[in-house]
Chain A
Amino acid sequence: MPNTESKGLLIFFYFCIAIFSLICLVPFVLAVSGSLSTESRIAAEGYSFWPRGFTLETYEFLFGSKAQQILQAYSMSVIVTVLGTVSAVLVTTAYAYVISVKGFRLKNFFAFFAYFTMLFSGGTLPWYLLSTKYYHLGDTLLGLFVPYLLSVFLMFLMANYFRSIPHEIVESAQIDGAGHLRIFFSIMVPLGRVGLVTISLFYALQFWNDFYLPLMLVSDQELYTIQYLMYNMMANIQFLASGNAAQVGGAIIAPPLETAKMAMTCLTVLPIAVLYPFLQRFFVKGIVVGSVKG
């Protein structure tokens, strides 16, 4: 499409994109390098992009003394992600199917019923009070995923996929006597699997990264997810760093805090980084369908 003239501009464009891509990756290098440095050298010389005094001590420390806590939080994150994703995908696709059924008289109502929640909300506070006092979700496993079971945006995305499935298939199934449940589970779900994979990934990511729900609803250490454990650790370090700790009292133990933070960062990002190359194209496909179609 573009002209061959103004080569300079084109080179400049390549340069811009390359720089921004680098900036997107460099902070992670910093985290890995920090986790492989020794605590004393970080304390004395600060962070760097190359490990200061290369060592695996921090990981040994984490897997030694903190192993129990970290494994607990890690497995809690995995449980929440798996349970959350599976149930959210079920709830979402079922709802999406309903509003995509041709000729269903209430489909517009149901669509608006979901859409309206994007426009207007009761806010954090009533949500919090209802969840803790009336639904009793505080300090429960359910509280860590149930509030997120229906993302309206992903529901509309899924409905779009269902609408793209040729109506004739549904019609012929109806003539053969299939009901909506049958059509949903044995036709729509298998045929909409690209959409299904997309929204599953978005949900999985959301559940893995979430620390809002534990922040609001959890105080029991056994229910800490890895993100929330990380949050607590960071908040404590800030507390120590801000000087407030002076009043708390003398016995400041010196675990490798700085490097541990970086090691935790790496551990938390690791699953995403490992799966990302394989899954990335589904996300892209999902966004493209969601934004362009229609």
Chain B
Amino acid sequence: MMQDAIPEKARRQVLKTGTARTRSYRNSLKKDSSLYLLALPGIIVLILFAYLPMSGLILVFKNYNFNDGIFGSPWAGFSNFEFFFSSMEDALRATRNTVILNALYMLTGTFFSVAIAIILNELRSKWFIKVTQSVMFFPYFISWIIIGAILFSLLDYDKGIFNQLLTTLGWGQVDWYSSPWLFVIILVLANIWKSAGYGAIIYYAVLQGVDTSYYEAAKIDGASRWQIITKITLPMLIPSIILMSLLNIGGMLKGDLSMIMGVTFLNPLLLPTTDIIDVYVYRTAIRSGEFGFASAITLYQSVFGFILVLAANKLAGWYDKDSKLF
């Protein structure tokens, strides 16, 4: 979640490939040696936990056994892919769940964050804004496992608050923890509850930077509050909304394992809708030890995710050149 925004400047920095200055290599190495020293720990962490795992994707072509390890295990050709396609159903289910859940999170999350930011922007009472903003931001600080525990007290069949309420209303109880499709709604609501306040702060900050003369001009022209919102405030937010969505689309095939673990505890009854790719990998690989197969899924996830990033970037470029990520 913290990866929601990359600072504009940093992106520009990344864009400018090729250095203009051509200094003597040895000279600069000596002058900049302390810089390499400072960057070294970060480089090591990136290599160990991001770059080397990428090379681990060769597992797809290996018949993994624990003793020989990633690089020592015998080659398996494409047999893992055969296996992958033979149990296509599960893989497709996992893909479908990941995409559906992420798309729902993105749509509802963006909608609520933007709506809250726009409404906050209309309110005048400074202390009210401050207090409510702090309160709405708070759930962002709570881990999924705690949210899972609290949700349980809301949703439990006998003891949960929701079912108590439904019984009082005479509607009978609902078995939330064995209703996979109802639980999608629960997950979406939980996601809104946890992150809408956080998102709202980002959009609200953007609105604070808007030139007030737009509003003054609109007021003189006699625009209504609703017109001001739809004709000025919302358009101002669109570039940020696009940027945020772009960043999210890249992660479309990445699920939030902690969320599903924390909220459903891998409850088998809920798996039809909660078995996202990361959960699937965790179940098949880390629990059952089918490494080659699981890495075929991982490769597919990474490549597909990368393609999505490129496609989304292209799409943004059509809409507006400045909205492109790279």
Contact = CB atoms under 8 A, between A and B. Distances in A.
A149 B41 contact: yes
A127 B282 CA distance: 12
B226 A6 contact: yes
A113 B141 CA distance: 29
A126 B137 CA distance: 35
B206 to A, nearest CB: 6
A291 B240 contact: yes
Nearest to A294: B8
Nearest to A149: B45
B171 to A, nearest CB: 16
Interface in B141-169: 141-143, 145-150, 152-154, 156, 158-161, 163-164
Contacts of B185: none
Nearest to A184: B38
Contacts, number: 355
A36 interface: no
A209 B42 contact: no
Interface in B115-147: 116, 119-120, 122-123, 125, 128, 131-139, 141-143, 145-147
Interface string B2-32: 1111111111111011010101000010001
Contacts of B39: 94-95, 98, 110
A30 B205 contact: no
Contact of A105 (B21, B57, B161): B21
Contact of B116 (A20, A179, A272, A290): A20
Interface of A: prevailing SS: helix
A88 B152 CA distance: 34
30 contacts: A2-B215, A3-B219, A3-B225, A9-B225, A10-B225, A13-B123, A30-B154, A91-B45, A94-B38, A95-B39, A97-B38, A99-B10, A106-B32, A119-B306, A121-B53, A122-B302, A123-B295, A124-B286, A125-B291, A125-B294, A129-B59, A149-B45, A211-B261, A237-B152, A242-B267, A242-B269, A258-B153, A262-B153, A265-B146, A287-B198
A293 B9 contact: yes
A246 interface: no
Interface of B: 2-14, 16-17, 19, 21, 23, 28, 32, 34-35, 37-39, 41-43, 45-46, 48-57, 59, 66, 69-70, 116, 119-120, 122-123, 125, 128, 131-139, 141-143, 145-150, 152-154, 156, 158-161, 163-164, 193, 196-198, 201-202, 205-206, 209, 212, 215-216, 219, 223-226, 228, 240, 250, 257-258, 261-262, 265, 267, 269, 278, 281-282, 285-286, 291, 294-295, 298-299, 301-302, 305-306, 309
A130 interface: yes
Contact of B57 (A31, A90, A126, A149): A126
B201 A288 contact: yes
B19 A123 contact: no
B42 A130 contact: no
Nearest to B227: A3
Given A31-B150, A276-B141, A287-B202, 10 more contacts: A47-B154, A49-B161, A94-B42, A118-B6, A121-B54, A123-B53, A124-B286, A150-B45, A227-B145, A291-B206
Interface of A: 1-3, 5-6, 9-10, 13-14, 16-18, 20-21, 23-25, 27-28, 30-31, 34, 42-43, 45-49, 90-92, 94-95, 97-99, 101, 103-108, 110-115, 117-131, 133-135, 146-147, 149-157, 159-160, 163, 179-181, 184, 202, 205-206, 208-212, 215-216, 227, 230-231, 234-235, 237-238, 241-242, 258, 261-262, 264-265, 268-269, 272, 276-277, 280, 283-284, 287-288, 290-294
